[in-house]
Amino acid sequence: MRPKFVTHLPNNDELWETGNGIAHVIPGILPTDSPALKYALTVRRTADLLGRCECGGEIAATMRHGLVLKHEDDCPACDGNILPMAKRERHTRQANRGEQHADTH
């Protein structure tokens, strides 16, 4: 079965079904995300839904976390790359919105 988009969640993440009752929550891509973050999230989404990444990463079993998709260290979808980028961008936007809100009151 091809992955099927189900719905957007309240926090903008996406719910996808991949068959046999298996569902995945995938980080949503926001219109305000930079092109680099949009690309990284797109690579991550595809890898999570298909079980393999364009970097060559594939699903591997681990004792601590069960099944995980191991990306190459230089892959934009690797946790070490995508998480700091998303946190930095989205945290900065939230802080800027808070400053704008404070200026109006």
pTM of the model: 0.78
CB 26 within 8 A of CB 13: yes
Whole-number pLDDT of residue 68: 85
Whole-number pLDDT of residue 21: 82
pLDDT averaged over consecutive 10-residue blocks of the chain (105 residues)? 91 89 89 94 93 91 83 94 91 65 50
Whole-number pLDDT of residue 67: 81
Whole-number pLDDT of residue 8: 94
Full DSSP string of 51-75: SB-TTS-EEEEETTTEEEEE--TT-
Q: Which residues of 7-32 are buried (b: 16+ CB within 10 A; e: fewer)?
A: eeeeeeebebbbeeeeeeebbebeee
Residue-range domain boundaries for the chain: 31-103
